[in-house]
Amino acid sequence: MSSYKMVYKSILIAIFSILLVSCGSVSDGIREDCEGNDIDACDECNEFSIRNGLLHDLDYLLYLMENNFGLFDVAYRARGIDIRSLFEAARGDVLNIEYIDEQIFGSILATRFSAMNTFAHFGVFNPLGRFEHRNNAISVDLNLLGIDYDIESLADIFELDLFDQDVYLFLIIVTSPIEMQLEAKSIVERSLGESVAELFMHSIRDVDFYTYMQIINMEMSVFSTEILNNGDVAYMAIRSFSRFTAEEFEQLIFGFFEKIQETQHLIIDLRGNPGGNYRDFFSLVIEPNIAEALAFNRYHFFIDEILVQTSSYISRFIEESREQGNVFSVEEALKTFDMPELNHNEIRRMDYVLVDKTIFTPQLLSRFGYNPAFAGKIWILVDEMIGSASEVAVRAAQEIGFATLVGELTGGNYGGAGTVVDLPNSGIRVGFDLFYVTDTNGRPLEAGTVPHYFNRQGMDALQTVLVMIEEGQY
């Protein structure tokens, strides 16, 4: 076996030993004091208590989501996700698996709810610090895999919690060759049984790491530009809104605008952009290229329940908006605002609507002669990987008429302000957005943005736009 494989296998086994089969990791909140019982009775008592505690955690989470999660009812229409069926599947795993503890429970949640990984920022987090493994996290040099970053760098780039066991497995396993994945499966199967091993492999298969790996390997730069069609078309790709400071972003954007003053078309490629800070896109891309003020409203429907009430940030956001006259009862909002695409079945549980108003003000700069930075036709390329802040960016660009969108239905992954819930028995932390956010017409951002033009058959979005330009269809 090569030294690469020997080192990698050692790392893999160490991680699984630490994360999946560590002993003594059951929280004091679940274990009962079995002092005075014989060993068999104690084990049976503990197992019963642990299982019941984890089932209670599932019931607790389902209750909170049913009564606080604004997007609960849109999940099926937008993504084909039946949330209650996910809970039933997880409950079946807890009841039927031969051995279970909090870490396995966390893996069950992460796997059964993997379909929601890009829905309303839903995430399952297992705090390794609780199990005293924080200091054992191995800093793995991914040069072993031909990658120029170590795990710590990757966690920082993608704003991941390095001490989350699922993140660690994500970075180690998914980037590995298939034979290493199968080796990992065999380790899990020997340790925890076939059912857990199948869950593990299912979670790997569900991860679309391709775009991230392209960025990591520098095959796809986070920001890149090109001049196409003999100077008639300018191309600018922005794969993330979180990799640059506002000053760095301004230098890149405005520097390119200065080079393309005579160009007729600008293609902004946001495909694969998972989000970050949409405000920089608003101030540096949209506002320098508009000649009049434009409005983009978002309606934040929400349930006035415990998770909204106990979040200091969300409560402050709502109270400040209420003082400005921007919070309405649902009944008042429906009478005041015209939302022709609103799905009334999906808002039947909502109590209030917060109106979030964005006014785009022209920022015409001296470096561009106090004219729009780019005077030609603007296109934006979109795909299903777009979500979160980039979802807001493309929806705003479409609604105010800033650009023509071409590509695929976008990914959504946006429900306004979010929260985290600590499950009382396992200590597993679950996070999700709380609001049901719509555009001016009442269409939820979580359902994705429909482009003006879909990709033509056999073409990607860039090819489609170039053909449309050649044909004069704009």
- Per residue in 271-323, pLDDT (tens digit) is 989 888 899 999 999 999 999 999 999 999 999 999 998 888 899 899 999 99
How many other β-carbons are positioned within 10 Å of the β-carbon of residue 1? Answer: 8
Residue 439 CA to residue 432 CA, distance in Å, equals: 20
Asked if 444 contacts 438 with a C-beta cutoff of 8 angstroms, the reply is: yes
Same domain for 177 and 312, yes or no, is no
The percentage of residues in the chain with a pLDDT greater than 90, rounded to a whole number, is 55
Q: Residue 255 has what pLDDT?
A: 96
- Give the pTM: 0.73
- Residue 272: alpha-carbon gap to chain centroid: 12
Provide the terminal-to-terminal Cα distance of the chain, rounded to the nearest Å.
Answer: 58
Q: Residue 107 has what pLDDT?
A: 82
> Which CATH number does the domain housing residue 359 bear?
3.90.226.10
Residue 363 CA to residue 445 CA, distance in Å, equals: 27
Q: Residue 130 has what pLDDT?
A: 33
Same domain for 81 and 110, yes or no, is yes
SS3 391: helix
Same domain for 241 and 209, yes or no, is no
Amino acid occupying residue 465:
V
Q: Residue 135 has what pLDDT?
A: 26
Number of domains in the chain: 2
Same domain for 178 and 224, yes or no, is no
Question: Smallest Cα–Cα separation from 368: which of 288, 310, 294, 456?
Answer: 288
* Among candidate residues 188, 214, 240, the one where a domain is terminated: 214
SS3 276: strand
The sign of the CA dihedral 92, 122, 212, 133 is negative
* Among candidate residues 183, 214, 245, the one where a domain is terminated: 214
Contacts of 177 (CB under 8 A, 6+ apart): none
Q: Residue 197 has what pLDDT?
A: 57
Low-confidence ranges of the chain (pLDDT < 50): 1-36, 39, 127-151, 153-155, 157-171, 173-175, 191, 203-220
Same domain for 202 and 223, yes or no, is no
State the residue range of the domain holding 185: 3-214
Same domain for 308 and 433, yes or no, is yes
How many other β-carbons are positioned within 10 Å of the β-carbon of residue 67? Answer: 13
Same domain for 243 and 314, yes or no, is yes
Same domain for 249 and 316, yes or no, is yes
Same domain for 226 and 82, yes or no, is no
- Per residue in 432-472, pLDDT (tens digit) is 999 999 999 999 999 999 999 999 999 999 999 999 999 99
Same domain for 234 and 286, yes or no, is yes
Q: Residue 185 has what pLDDT?
A: 58
Same domain for 242 and 139, yes or no, is no
* Among candidate residues 182, 214, 246, the one where a domain is terminated: 214
Strands 418-422 and 327-329: unpaired
Same domain for 205 and 177, yes or no, is yes
Question: Smallest Cα–Cα separation from 30: which of 10, 46, 16, 9?
Answer: 46
